[in-house]
Amino acid sequence: MSATGPAFHLTDIQGRPRRLWTQSLSWMLFLVGILLYSQFSVARHKENPEDRVIPSGAQLIQGVKSAVLEQPEEDDPLDATATTWQRVSHGMLWRDTVSSSRRFFISLLLLIPAILLGLHMAVFPYAEAFFLRFFLFFDKIVALSLLPILFIVFGIDEWSKIMLMVIGVGPTLMLDTYNIAKSVPREQVVKAFTLQSSSLDVTYRVILKQILPQIINSVRLNLKPLALFLFAGEMIASTDGLAYRIAIMRRHMGMDIIIPYLLWVAALLFAMDALLRFANRRLHPWY
Amino acid sequence: MRSFCPRGILKCKAGKYPRQQSLGRAFAANGALLVALAFLCACCTPGYAAAPTFTVGWSVYAGWNPYFYMARSGILKRWADKYGVVIKVQRFDYAASLDAFVGKNIDACTMTNMEALDMPAAAGVDSTALIVGDYSNGNDAVLARSGLTLAQLPGKRIMLVQKTVSEYLLERAFEVNGLGAQIPRLRLMNTSDSDLVGAFLGDRNNPAAVTWKPLVSQILAQDSGVHSLFDSSKIPGEILDLLVVRTDILERPDGSGVRFAKAIAGAWYETVAQLASGAPAAIAGSAAASGDSVASYKDQLRTTYLFSSPKLAEQFAEGATLRQKMDLVRQFCFRHQLLGQGVQSVDDVAIRYPDGSVQGKTNRVRLRIDATYMQMAAQGKL
């Protein structure tokens, strides 16, 4: 007897929702979020038409427009003949995205040595003896509390913010890599040696190669802490960047700019995550 | 395929009755919870039999610390009882207190005239300044290293909390010294106040910073190479510290808002009189509000012009100079888009003065300076 409707499957492990159901269910919470937001917004605007705490749709659209097209006020104004493209590329959102992304990618690059160190710790017993205890301890230090020291060592420009991200996320990534590499069966290493591999062959061609997809997944999980540290650094001392703008806008409740900025950051992180996931699937179809 | 699915087996095993029973039990539990919640709410909601409750938010600053002492010492309670209201005093971080006030989570809040304009007023929350408490008379300062002068600052990095009175002070420093044309060339670095001292002192290449006491004193004490270029004593009466209440609270039909205003004004001037006479308990109590030592707090008080009597405050609020000074502040806010991205004219956020005159569009009054309660205090009518 065939099922009469999807309602019967709701609590059933074996339920197989149809495509239409999967699609519509997956958008449901978005819809609820938007509805709740607009209800709050409408209620607040009924009471106070100029409310800035929960901007209305029109205010948000205006906010997006000025974020994309208007220049940050610290820049020299463009002349009136500027094309739309020029206005976008000199606009707040683009300029802030560029400077924040630069910091983000530099620190991502600096995390590669941390991953390799984790790998070496797992493979070479002397490296393990030397580094492991220290990094287990260092990982537990709340990186934000180190900021005054970072300021003294790296100045208050770019490097203190980049190092905050590296110090905040590096040890976690390193220890995760260590754990993943440790879980590679010992037999494989022995086998590789019987096939006349060198130590480095084993490290890079046997172990790294097979744990790489897991490392990429670990990086994906760490994108958010990375962004968190970037935001913290930019909010504490900076002259540009996405979090800088949010900090400035907070001074006068510019939620009409802040909300689009937050959604933009979320979209960027999502795209980054999707890119890594895609790369992982293409590079390691066997995983 | 479908018949192969083990759903049927599960159904048989689980049976129908047990599930219904458990559902019933869940409903009963929820019902009990609801009743408990409703009871709790009834207890918490003011206005049944209890006196109307008002919450005042304050943040750490020389001119606002007395609110802490006022609540602690029982002065506030005495005045609140006299007017039949309950007044709670709650400490916030400055930015958070403003958020809470604009979000209508608290009824009154301490803030500067600049934030009164660009936070609640610009967000359409009609607000009234009840008490003009003090003005910064040297509390805010522009600091520089190694003998730099104001004229040498453009192009160099200046650390400050942007879009606050610090930036206002910096621009005024340039205007007052005839360097107004240099303002667009300033390179500002937005630095959180919690990290400013460490970041500025950490690197001797940082040329300049703008901040307020006690941070100013900390920097000057720790580095003899730093000197003050300009401070707020050169622009007296421009950086005002106010107690602001939402106008709709003041206009409550049952008159409780007015009673609240009277109570808090009465309590404030009793507290300030103690401070002005140098009562040790008042000074120590206010210093304790920010964890400052008495000596440090006295140092801050020296550069704070506290309106020590309601008479002085009333005169200042009703005087003609206030209008000029507020105009400087509102023009600054407008120039920096602090009144909102879409605001076309500085007059869209209008200010109403005690004499009834309005600065800006008369149909867009958002901030009211109200001398009524200061006047009542001065006349001893509270």
Is residue B2 a part of any domain in this protein?
no
Contacts of B1 in chain A (CB under 8 A): none
Summarised one tens digit per residue, pLDDT across range B162-185 is 999 999 999 999 999 999 999 999
Which DSSP state fits B106? S
A3: contact with B, CB 8 A cutoff:
yes
CB contact A1 to B (< 8 Å): yes
The distance of B101 to chain A (nearest Cα, Å) reads 11
* 3-state SS, residue B304: strand
Q: Are residues B210 and B242 part of one domain?
A: no
Report CB contact under 8 Å: A50, B124: yes
For residues B133 and B282, membership in a common domain is answered with: yes
* Interchain CB contact of A147 with B (< 8 Å): yes
* Nearest residue of chain B to residue A8 (CA atoms): B7
Q: How confident is the model at residue A13 (pLDDT cuts 50, 70, 90)?
A: confident
Q: What are phi and psi of B290, to 5 degrees?
A: -115, 10
Could you tell me which residues of chain B have a Cβ less than 8 Å from any Cβ in chain A?
2-3, 5-7, 95, 99, 102-103, 118-119, 122-125, 157, 159, 162-164, 184, 187-192, 194-195, 198-199, 202-203, 205-206, 336-342
Q: According to the model, what pLDDT value does residue B17 have? A: 43
Any domain includes B301:
yes
Q: Of B234, B257, B286, which residue is a domain's last? A: B234
- Asked if residue B277 belongs to a domain, the reply is yes
Residues B365 and B358: their CA atoms lie apart, in Å, by 7
Q: Residue B62 in 3-state DSSP? A: coil
Which of A113, A65, A69, A107 is CA-nearest to residue A234? A107
Based on the fold, state whether residues B250 and B359 are members of the same structural domain.
yes
Angstroms from A17 CA to nearest CA on chain B: 14
For the ranges B31-35, B41-45, B60-64, the one whose mean pLDDT is highest: B60-64
Cβ proximity of B226 and B144 under 8 Å:
yes
If one counts the domains in chain B, the total is: 3
ipTM of this complex prediction, to 2 decimal places: 0.82
| Residue A70 confidence (pLDDT) above 50 | yes
Query: How close, in Å, is residue A240 to chain B by CA atoms?
Result: 9
Asked if A232 is an interface residue toward chain B (Cβ–Cβ < 8 A), one would say no
pTM of the predicted structure, to 2 decimals: 0.84
- Give residue A76's pLDDT: 73
Residue B176: in which H helix or E strand, if any? helix B165-176
pLDDT of residue B291: 87
Measure the CA–CA gap between B285 and B50, rounded to whole angstroms: 30
Q: Do B117 and B183 share a domain, yes or no?
A: no
Residue B33 is predicted with a pLDDT of 52
Are residue B133 and residue B251 in the same domain, yes or no? yes
- Domain ranges in chain A are 16-51, 92-283
Structural domain contains residue B1: no
Whether A250 has its CB under 8 Å from any CB of chain B: the answer is yes
CA of B195 to nearest chain A CA: how many angstroms apart? 7
Q: Indicate whether B266 and B124 sit together in one domain.
A: yes
Query: What fold is seen in the domain A92-283?
Result: MetI-like fold (1.10.3720)
Statement to judge: residues B31 and B169 lie in one domain? no
The pLDDT value recorded for residue A9 is 67
Partner residue opposite A50 with nearest CB, options B123, B189, B338: B123
Q: Does residue A252 register a pLDDT over 60?
A: yes
Tens of pLDDT, residues A123-142: 999 999 999 999 999 999 99
Q: Is there a domain that residue B318 lies in?
A: yes
Q: Is residue B109 part of a domain?
A: yes
For A232, the closest chain B residue by CA position comes to B192
Helices A209-236 and A158-182 meet at what angle, rounded to 10?
150
Residue B36: pLDDT band (50, 70, 90) is: low
B57 in the same domain as B76: yes
Is residue B125 located within the same domain as residue B194? no
Integer Cα distance of B382 and B373 in angstroms: 8
> Residues of A with CB below 8 A from B9's CB?
none
Helix (H) / strand (E) element for B132: namely strand B127-136
- Give the model confidence (pLDDT) of A73-113 as tens digits: 777 777 777 788 888 888 999 999 999 999 999 999 999 99
Whether the predicted pLDDT of A181 surpasses 80: yes
Model pLDDT, residue A16 = 85
- The minimum CA-CA distance between A82 and chain B, rounded to whole Å, is 21
Q: Taking CB atoms and an 8 Å cutoff, what residues of chain A touch B190?
A: 237-239, 244, 247-248
Confidence of residue B31 (pLDDT cuts 50, 70, 90): low
Check residue B273 and give its pLDDT.
94
Query: Chain-wide mean pLDDT for chain B?
Result: 87
* Cβ–Cβ below 8 Å for A48 and B125: yes
* pLDDT score, position B11: 40
B79-99 pLDDT, tens digit each: 999 999 999 999 998 889 999
Bridge partner list, B358: B352
Between A13 and B233, the more confident residue is B233
Q: Is any Cβ of chain B less than 8 angstroms from the Cβ of A155?
A: yes
Give the closest-approach CA distance of A260 to chain B in angstroms. Answer: 14
Q: Show residues of chain B in contact with A155, CB under 8 Å.
A: 203, 205
Over residues B339-366, the pLDDT tens digits come to 987 788 999 999 999 999 999 999 999 9
- Percentage of the residues of chain B whose pLDDT score is greater than 70: 87
pLDDT at B300 over 70: yes
Whether B250 and B336 map to the same domain: the answer is yes
**SS3 state at B146:** coil
CB count, 10 Å around CB of B270? 18
Cβ–Cβ gap B192/A244 under 8 Å = no
Query: Once rounded to an integer, what is the mean pLDDT over residues B104-131?
Result: 94
Residue contact A151–B5, C-beta within 8 A: no
Compute the mean pLDDT over every residue in chain A, rounded to the nearest whole number.
91
Question: Would you state the pLDDT for residue B382?
Answer: 87
Q: Which of B163, B203, B341 sits opposite A155 (nearest CB)?
A: B203
For residues A4 and B253, which has the higher predicted lDDT (pLDDT)? B253
Cα–Cα distance measured from residue B282 to residue A4, given in angstroms and rounded to the nearest whole number:
77
CATH number at residue B365: 3.40.190.10
Residue range of the domain that includes B69: 53-137+238-378
Q: Which of A66-75, A208-217, B123-132 is predicted with the least confidence, judged by mean pLDDT?
A: A66-75
* DSSP-derived secondary structure letter, B5: S
**In angstroms, how far is the first alpha carbon of chain B from the final one?**
85
The pLDDT of residue B371 = 95
Confidence of residue A214 (pLDDT cuts 50, 70, 90): very high
Residues of A in contact with B198 (CB under 8 A): 147-148, 151-152
Give me the pLDDT at residue A10, please: 75
Q: Are residues B249 and B333 in the same domain?
A: yes
Residue B257 and residue B195 in one domain: no
Count interface pairs A-B at CB distance under 8 A: 109
